[in-house]
Chain A
Amino acid sequence: MKKNSSLGRALKFIGRYKLLMAISAFFAIGIVALTLIVPILIGDSIDLIIGKDNVDIGKIVKLLITAGAVVLLTSVLQWLMSAINNKITYNVVRDMRNAAFQKLERVPISYIDTNAKGDIVSRIISDVDIFADGLLLGFTQLFTGVLTIIGTLVFMLIIDWKIALVVVILTPLSLFIAKFIGTRTHSMFAERQKTNGEATAHINESLSEQKVIIAFSHEDESQKKYDEINDRLKSSSLKAIFFSSLVNPTTRFVNNVVYAAVALAGAFTAVATAGAATPFTVGTLTCLLSYTNQYTKPFNEISGVLTEFQNALAAASRMFELIDKEPEIADSESALDIGEAKGEVTLSDVSFSYTKDKKLIEDLSLNVRDGQRIAIVGPTGCGKTTVINLLMRFYDVDKGSISVDGCDIRSMTRRSLRKNYGMVLQETWLSAGTVRENIAMGKPNATDEEIIAAAKASHAHGFIKRLKDGYDTVIGEGGGSLSLGQKQLICIARIMLSLPPMLILDEATSSIDTRTEIKIQEAFRTMMKGRTSFIVAHRLSTIKNADVILVMKDGKIIEQGNHSELLKRGGFYSELYNSQFAKI
């Protein structure tokens, strides 16, 4: 996405707070003007302090009281402005995160499948923060900075245009120097970044597999490699840190030179105009010196703000990529609510692939009568979940159609389609909440009796009762302390409670202890009675008893039929089946 357009999109989010922005800008102008008046008042007072018996205390007191009032007013405005800016910033951040999260719930599953989770999370969390820091805080800094520069310049020009000119000409020097050092150090930082990346990669790899390193006594080799990278990291860090830290002292030096130049010019003017009608006084000089300090400061800040701006825009465009993502094709106006389906599923000439260049399912046809069992078999990673993705309409077919009870699933609402399926996957997922809430997920108004009955039917009641707070035990995010088998039993109870007419079940391969596994199988069996079931099967008994077996390999369905038909065919399935019993 173009940076400009992401700036435009960002402005739309900020636009909601137009009025606040205007007030904030107005305050900023007031603050800058007031801050500039204070040195004049102070300077005027100093001018009245000329020497022994030559001090106009009465006038000084008046000036100082005015100064005090101005200072108070400035502080109040400062506080109000930052309160307003905070409000704008945090509200914009909140709005953006809400928009991003809402989109996350609406994007096609393929977006979640194909993007790294850490990446999506960082778009919603850290990118929004970078944006807020860079653009919003940066903007206020830039705005007041520019105002201060302009204001100081105008005041200096009014007071003495020649000295003002000295300041205007010399100050950009510090900008040049900062830029000069910046471009020189850029490559050093890049080098350091690269070395740091190498070091992190090595650390990541070794420490996350430290046990393998121990098992193969590979500690010394790994250390040698690390030390080599670490040494390079040390020298590249030193260079980068040292050279970049030159910016501050050198700009400070330039500012000191400007300061000295103003003092010189001012002192000369003061001497020359002594006794004139409008003398250049010591007060004027102090005032100018204090302006010089104020004038140079924002310059140093602005160059920093500009880089942050770039980062902020980059972060914003990453975030808008998510916010602007096309949502799933909406259910059409005429989409049906099919209510409780009978459970007939027909796939006719279905073709599907995740990417255009890699064909997966082609011309798959399958007729499932209600109550039938379909076993999907094949080696791990062969794409069994693809079929589930299509049935649940997480993905749409490319060609052909899938219908339930004779009705194309694209002409019904997703909600009503998905309500008709009960899904228990191997990667169990529980939300943070109580056991009860998790079981009642599909039927929030279920009574306690119904919940307990469902838990009993799925053999989960026993272990739930033994938990610390029984059904009210809070399970942490992702299931926390429960074992995988227990989590799966809760997931089964969840389905058992609403018991939809069609089931998608994933048999466990490895993660569950034998006893629990037997319970799960019994629970599955209870559930499947009279229901159309699609089972990702690993157990021979399940496979043999299926009405139709879909044999998958490399993402494709290569064979279809029941156990004896497939054995007779002598294809991949029979090879799989026989290898189970092969003697070593």
Chain B
Amino acid sequence: MKKLLKFIKGYKKESVLGPLFKLLEAALELIVPLVIAALIDKGIGSSDHGYIVRSCLILVALGAIGLAFSVTAQYFAAKASCGFSAAMRSSLFSHIGTLSYTELDTIGSSTLITRITADSNQVQTGINLTLRLLLRSPFVVFGAMIMAFTVDVQSAITFAVVIPVLSIVVFGIMLITMPLYKKVSRGVDSILSKTRENLDGARVIRAFCKEDEEISEFRERNDALTAMQKFVGKISSLMNPLTYIIINLAIIALIYSGAIRVELGELTQGEVVALYNYMSQILVELIKLANLIITITKSAAAANRISAVFETESSMKYGDEKFTGLKDGISFNDVSLCYKNAAETSLSDISFEAKRGETIGVIGGTGSGKTSLINLIPRFYDATKGEITVDGKPISSFDKESIRSRIGVVPQKAALFEGSIRENMLWGKADATDEEINRALAIAQADKVVMDKGGLDAHIEEGGRNLSGGQRQRLTIARALVRNPDILILDDSASALDYATDAALRSAIAESTKESLVFIVSQRASSVMHADKIIVLDDGKAIGIGTHGELLAACPLYKEIYDTQFGEVV
């Protein structure tokens, strides 16, 4: 949590002045009972109209000054909390930008999104309330007690007893119910996941005629949740009656002891009223404090989660040699990759050479390590064993920007971003001309897509959801081609295309990338069979490297894949 404190630094003045003005306001509130006491004893007691009017004007003035103080405090608190959270979010966003694939895998993008949205908001609310109330409520509670002592020490002892008792009740109930509420939210989760499951599996459930069983299972979980809610409800609804009893019994005790003291002439009627008023102030503030503590606990938890992201550092270090273009090729020497927290290696002892101008096919089943293999080339991950060299130099000796900008990657999942088609194409090359873009679109068989959508300025919605899967794939391929990369990587990126388009695409790419090194990853034998070199992966091992003809003869798995896709009934 300490890491986050630096974001409040720019708001030191606000963070001090906010609580200060709140305290001033609270102090004014504590004066009110004294004014009323004087009003009763002096004003009414001696029928002094002038004194009464003055007292009431003082009350109004106290209110007005209190209003001004409070508004000032709210302003400082709002400014500090909004400023804090904006600075924190911006820094968090940029920190996430520095993380590598390994960290992104470990944390997960949905978690990161929650951190920067919901958690940040929670922290902002927590800071705002803390600045406003954390000092104020205890101040009023103890202030009321101290004021009571100044009025009459003997009567004030009631306060010294009541405050701890009330605190025990208020905070005790809060402490007991907090974990119970967590249980309730787990109960809600359980009916939520049942609902989700039934939406995802609607067809299967109906195909097996399981509707009634699902309903009764839902009811069971729902009943359990309801029982839990009622139980917590019973405990937390003790709060009001208990505090009501304590405060009123205390008032009764106060008046009884006050009566005796007045009889003895040691106290006045007005002072008894003042003590009564102080007692009433305590309860409201204690309840506010209890609620505040709940909010602060939640915010602190959120702050800790955010800190954890800040503490995650990128595990990838870059050299500073500029990469000026692929001259010779890439070679893998006994490369193994074991993902963080994974029990087994995803790639083991892979060695091959890939020369400029070649097309390399990578084939294998899911989980065989195809994507892992090609992810090593743009250095999304680092090999955990062995070495990858580019033009004879270790890949880690190159500067990040210069090598990435020479590689065009088309990931498996075709992701586009909100904006125009042109903006999306410029991702590949920031200063690309329309000719360059159109050329890339033509190779990717995407020119028709652009035409259908209404040209390069056509709008693409968030995630490209106004496009079909095939249209998205073609545009992502074009995006990678815009930069005219030295190394082009197609990771199973034509799966949504029909066979005819797929074939046209492959021949256009082959035509235009004669000078480049192309990696094609696929599950379809038809996509890789014409490559210069095919790497057959199974369970992270290269069990065959060679041309289509060589592999058919020498690699049983390759033949098996080929036969299941092309062969007659096996």
Nearest-neighbour CB distance to chain A for B326, whole angstroms, equals 17
Choose one: A45, A53, A219, A414; the contact of B265 (CB below 8 Å): A53
Interface of A is mostly: helix
CB pair A112 B202 closer than 8 Å: yes
Nearest-neighbour CB distance to chain B for A294, whole angstroms, equals 11
Chain B positions within 8 Å of A38 at CB level: 248
**Does residue B385 face the partner (Cβ distance < 8 Å to A)?**
no
Choose one: B63, B85, B251, B411; the contact of A211 (CB below 8 Å): B411
**Does residue A307 face the partner (Cβ distance < 8 Å to B)?**
no
Per-position contact with B for A229-255: 1 when CB-CB < 8 Å, else 0? 011011101100110011011101100
Chain A positions within 8 Å of B411 at CB level: 211-212, 215
Question: A-B pairs with the 9 shortest C-beta distances?
Answer: A513-B365, A256-B63, A52-B265, A82-B237, A86-B233, A234-B86, A75-B241, A260-B59, A379-B498
Instruction: Tell me the complex Cα distance, A293–B281, Å.
Output: 11
Choose one: A91, A226, A264, A421; the contact of B56 (CB below 8 Å): A264
**Does residue A130 face the partner (Cβ distance < 8 Å to B)?**
no
Considering only CB atoms, which chain A residue lies closest to B193 in the complex?
Answer: A477
Interface of B is mostly: helix
Chain A positions within 8 Å of B241 at CB level: 74-76, 78-79
CB pair A257 B197 closer than 8 Å: no
Instruction: Tell me the complex Cα distance, A441–B204, Å.
Output: 10
Nearest-neighbour CB distance to chain B for A466, whole angstroms, equals 14
Per-position contact with A for B456-470: 1 when CB-CB < 8 Å, else 0? 000000110000111
CB pair A282 B44 closer than 8 Å: yes
Choose one: A67, A101, A210, A282; the contact of B269 (CB below 8 Å): A282
CB pair A223 B97 closer than 8 Å: yes
**Does residue B39 face the partner (Cβ distance < 8 Å to A)?**
yes
Choose one: A222, A392, A541; the contact of B570 (CB below 8 Å): A541
CB pair B207 A49 closer than 8 Å: no
Instruction: Tell me the complex Cα distance, A110–B74, Å.
Output: 51
CB pair B259 A45 closer than 8 Å: yes
**Does residue A584 face the partner (Cβ distance < 8 Å to B)?**
yes
Instruction: Tell me the complex Cα distance, A200–B120, Å.
Output: 12
Chain B positions within 8 Å of A238 at CB level: 78-79, 82-83
Task: Give the size range of A's interface with the partner.
Answer: 35 or more
CB pair A250 B67 closer than 8 Å: yes
Instruction: Report B527-570 residues with CB < 8 Å from chain A CB.
Output: 530, 538, 557, 560-561, 564-570
Instruction: Tell me the complex Cα distance, A246–B104, Å.
Output: 42
Choose one: B57, B74, B262; the contact of A55 (CB below 8 Å): B262
Contacts A208-B415, A540-B565 aside, 17 further interface pairs with beta carbons under 8 A come to A68-B249, A75-B245, A86-B230, A215-B404, A241-B78, A249-B70, A252-B66, A260-B56, A260-B60, A263-B36, A264-B53, A282-B270, A293-B280, A425-B204, A477-B196, A513-B367, A517-B365
Task: Give the size range of B's interface with the partner.
Answer: 35 or more
**Does residue B307 face the partner (Cβ distance < 8 Å to A)?**
no
**Does residue A567 face the partner (Cβ distance < 8 Å to B)?**
no
Chain A positions within 8 Å of B85 at CB level: 234, 237
**Does residue B294 face the partner (Cβ distance < 8 Å to A)?**
no
**Does residue B181 face the partner (Cβ distance < 8 Å to A)?**
no
Interface segment out of the listed B165-173, B209-217, B295-303, B431-439: B209-217
CB pair A61 B256 closer than 8 Å: yes
**Does residue B149 face the partner (Cβ distance < 8 Å to A)?**
no
CB pair A483 B242 closer than 8 Å: no
CB pair A253 B63 closer than 8 Å: yes
Chain B positions within 8 Å of A259 at CB level: 59
**Does residue B495 face the partner (Cβ distance < 8 Å to A)?**
yes
Chain A positions within 8 Å of B249 at CB level: 68, 71
CB pair B128 A241 closer than 8 Å: yes
Instruction: Report B101-155 residues with CB < 8 Å from chain A CB.
Output: 101, 104, 109-110, 112-113, 116-117, 124, 128
**Does residue B428 face the partner (Cβ distance < 8 Å to A)?**
yes
**Does residue B492 face the partner (Cβ distance < 8 Å to A)?**
yes
CB pair A541 B226 closer than 8 Å: no
**Does residue B3 face the partner (Cβ distance < 8 Å to A)?**
no
Instruction: Report B487-508 residues with CB < 8 Å from chain A CB.
Output: 492, 495-500, 502-503, 506-507
CB pair A576 B101 closer than 8 Å: no
CB pair A227 B90 closer than 8 Å: yes
Chain B positions within 8 Å of A257 at CB level: 60, 63
> Given that A104-B198, A286-B276, A423-B207 are known contacts, is A584 also in contact with B530, CB under 8 Å in the complex?
yes
Instruction: Tell me the complex Cα distance, A419–B219, Å.
Output: 25
**Does residue B252 face the partner (Cβ distance < 8 Å to A)?**
yes
CB pair B78 A42 closer than 8 Å: no
CB pair B100 A214 closer than 8 Å: yes
Nearest-neighbour CB distance to chain A for B519, whole angstroms, equals 14
Chain A positions within 8 Å of B75 at CB level: 242
CB pair A51 B248 closer than 8 Å: no
Instruction: Tell me the complex Cα distance, A125–B59, Å.
Output: 49
Instruction: Tell me the complex Cα distance, A109–B193, Å.
Output: 19
Choose one: B60, B89, B238; the contact of A256 (CB below 8 Å): B60
**Does residue A468 face the partner (Cβ distance < 8 Å to B)?**
no
Per-position contact with A for B198-228: 1 when CB-CB < 8 Å, else 0? 1111111111111110110011001101100
**Does residue A179 face the partner (Cβ distance < 8 Å to B)?**
no
Instruction: Tell me the complex Cα distance, A76–B245, Å.
Output: 10
Instruction: Tell me the complex Cα distance, A583–B252, Å.
Output: 98
Interface segment out of the listed A92-100, A348-356, A457-465: A92-100
Instruction: Tell me the complex Cα distance, A129–B209, Å.
Output: 30
Interface segment out of the listed A2-10, A401-409, A504-512: A504-512
CB pair B230 A109 closer than 8 Å: no
Per-position contact with B for A180-213: 1 when CB-CB < 8 Å, else 0? 0000000000000000000111111111111111
Considering only CB atoms, which chain A residue lies closest to B46 in the complex?
Answer: A271
Chain A positions within 8 Å of B463 at CB level: 205, 208-209
**Does residue A359 face the partner (Cβ distance < 8 Å to B)?**
no
Chain B positions within 8 Å of A206 at CB level: 93, 417
**Does residue B71 face the partner (Cβ distance < 8 Å to A)?**
yes
Nearest-neighbour CB distance to chain B for A68, whole angstroms, equals 6
Considering only CB atoms, which chain A residue lies closest to B48 in the complex?
Answer: A271
Instruction: Tell me the complex Cα distance, A230–B87, Å.
Output: 9
Considering only CB atoms, which chain B residue lies closest to A297 in the complex?
Answer: B284
> Given that A215-B378, A515-B365 are known contacts, is A82 also in contact with B233, CB under 8 Å in the complex?
yes
Chain A positions within 8 Å of B99 at CB level: 210
Chain B positions within 8 Å of A410 at CB level: none
> Given that A42-B255, A125-B188 are known contacts, is A429 also in contact with B468, CB under 8 Å in the complex?
no
CB pair B218 A98 closer than 8 Å: yes
Per-position contact with A for B16-38: 1 when CB-CB < 8 Å, else 0? 00000000000000000000100
Q: Taking each of A86, A215, A421, which has the highest tally of chain B beta carbons within 10 Å of its own beta carbon?
A: A215
Instruction: Tell me the complex Cα distance, A112–B203, Å.
Output: 10
